[in-house]
């Protein structure tokens, strides 16, 4: 194993959603373990999820202006077109001040100003793409990157570069089921259904649950992570949360079945926890279609049941959930197959690539 110099400095960047921040912090934890003497800094946007979680992890945080890179027409693109170059100039000044040995960019529009600044300043850059198809931010970052890490082997054909490395997706360690059950405090032996739309919630999933909440609660104890976008219900076997941070891995470990979108980080955390899942990917109208491809990949592997949102009938969906919760053979098969996709050493491998490049 490569041993880094004594005072190595590493800048981490990426944010906007937990799907970018949580993998970055998993890499940060692996870096601290491999090189305790390394100085880590996190760069992102002000008053954001990355600021909150980086500070909670004890990593010094610096903010730059960011502009979202949209593929569709929006008047906000005009404003953000001004923000992006401002953010790049701020990132150039910040990197000159911090003088890092290397930058790790987890992707997403938040990472672009820092990745471009690293390229301009000739600072080594490693970037990571979680989804099957690379996003616009990754395509920009890859122009300046010494290495591009990917979660899916299939992603290599979309990037067509010789510096692409299949590492898997870095995730938090699996949680403790007993600790999760204690945290939830359900007073019965019903299966536990976890519904989560990611760090910012999912309005469609919330609507599905709300449409037939009584039927769902007959079949299971419900853990409902709403993103703060659903009304509160007072039911004994319904626990609602706007967001779960450090408790999430334990709650996931305690769950019987997970209803979720198909963001890559969520999927690989499911794989790490060996949890059967029912996926409803974000449709193309709300994204570039990356979640649909992620969901299909897991479904082809027998690792999840995947529904297209446009084909779901809300009034009958609770009955489908109840049937799946009762089918122990199907749940066991899903659990077995999804476990084979777990990225067991992704964070450690990426950390070592960062240290080697630095």
Write out pLDDT tens, residues 245-294: 899 999 999 999 999 999 999 999 999 999 999 999 998 765 578 899 99
pLDDT at 70: 61
pLDDT at 240: 95
- List pLDDT tens digits, range 7-47: 899 999 999 888 899 999 999 999 999 999 999 999 999 99
CATH number of 9-170+345-357: 3.40.50.2000
CA count, 13 A, side-chain hemisphere, 332: 4
Q: How far apart are CA 272 and CA 338, in angstroms?
A: 8
- List pLDDT tens digits, range 95-136: 999 999 999 999 889 999 999 999 999 999 999 999 999 998
Q: How far apart are CA 209 and CA 321, in angstroms?
A: 10
- List pLDDT tens digits, range 285-342: 655 788 999 999 999 999 999 999 988 988 889 999 999 999 999 999 999 999 999 9
pLDDT above 90 coverage of the chain, percent: 79
Confidence of residue 161 (pLDDT cuts 50, 70, 90): confident
Confidence of residue 228 (pLDDT cuts 50, 70, 90): confident
pLDDT at 107: 86
Whether the pLDDT of residue 85 is over 90: the answer is yes
Q: How far apart are CA 131 and CA 73, in angstroms?
A: 23
Confidence of residue 74 (pLDDT cuts 50, 70, 90): low
Whether the pLDDT of residue 78 is over 80: the answer is no
What pTM value is reported for the model? 0.90
**Domains 9-170+345-357 and 177-339 equal at CATH topology level:** yes
Contact 278, 321 (CB under 8 A): yes
Beta bridge partners of 129: 150
pLDDT at 92: 98
Whether the pLDDT of residue 65 is over 80: the answer is yes
pLDDT at 5: 54
Which class would CATH give 177-339? Answer: alpha beta
User: What is the arithmetic mean of pLDDT over 223-231?
Assistant: 89
Closest alpha carbon to 298 in 325, 328, 258, 248: 258
In the chain, where the domains are located: 9-170+345-357, 177-339
| 76-98 helix and 112-120 helix, angle to the nearest 10 degrees | 50
Whether the pLDDT of residue 159 is over 80: the answer is yes
Q: How far apart are CA 112 and CA 118, in angstroms?
A: 10
pLDDT at 220: 97
Mean pLDDT over each residue of the chain, to the nearest integer: 92
Q: How far apart are CA 245 and CA 53, in angstroms?
A: 9
pLDDT at 72: 58
């Amino acid at each position: 194993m490569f041993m880094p110099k004594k005072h190595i400095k590493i800048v981490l960047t990426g944010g906007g959603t937990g799907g970018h921040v949580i993998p970055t912090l998993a890499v940060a934890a692996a870096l601290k373990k491999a090189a305790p003497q390394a100085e880590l800094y996190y760069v992102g946007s002000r008053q954001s999820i990355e600021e909150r979680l980086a500070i909670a992890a004890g990593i010094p945080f610096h903010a730059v202006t960011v502009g979202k890179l949209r593929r569709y027409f929006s008047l906000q693109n005009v404003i953000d077109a001004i923000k992006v170059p401002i953010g790049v100039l701020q990132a150039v000044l910040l990197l000159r001040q911090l003088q890092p040995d290397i930058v790790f960019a987890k992707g997403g529009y938040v990472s672009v100003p820092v990745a471009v600044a690293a390229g301009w300043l000739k600072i080594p850059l490693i970037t990571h793409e979680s989804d099957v198809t690379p996003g616009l931010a990754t395509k920009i970052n890859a122009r300046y990157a010494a290495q591009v890490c990917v979660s899916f082997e299939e992603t290599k054909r979309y990037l067509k570069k010789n510096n692409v490395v299949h590492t898997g997706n870095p995730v938090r360690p699996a949680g403790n089921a007993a600790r999760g059950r204690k945290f939830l405090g359900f007073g019965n032996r019903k299966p536990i259904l976890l519904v989560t739309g990611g760090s910012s919630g999912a309005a469609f999933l919330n609507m599905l649950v709300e449409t037939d909440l009584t039927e769902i609660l007959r079949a299971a104890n419900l853990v409902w992570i709403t993103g703060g976008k659903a009304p509160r219900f007072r039911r004994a076997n319904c626990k609602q949360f706007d967001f779960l941070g450090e408790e999430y891995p334990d709650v996931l470990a305690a769950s019987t079945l997970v209803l979720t979108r198909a963001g890559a980080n969520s999927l690989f955390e499911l794989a790490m926890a060996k949890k059967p899942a029912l996926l409803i990917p974000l449709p193309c109208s709300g994204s570039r279609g990356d979640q649909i491809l992620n969901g299909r990949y897991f479904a082809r592997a027998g690792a999840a049941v995947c529904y297209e949102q446009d084909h779901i009938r809300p009034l009958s969906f609770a009955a489908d959930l109840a049937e799946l919760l009762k089918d122990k053979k199907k749940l066991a098969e899903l659990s077995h197959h999804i476990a084979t996709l777990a990225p067991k050493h992704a964070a450690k491998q990426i950390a070592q690539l960062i240290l080697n490049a630095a």
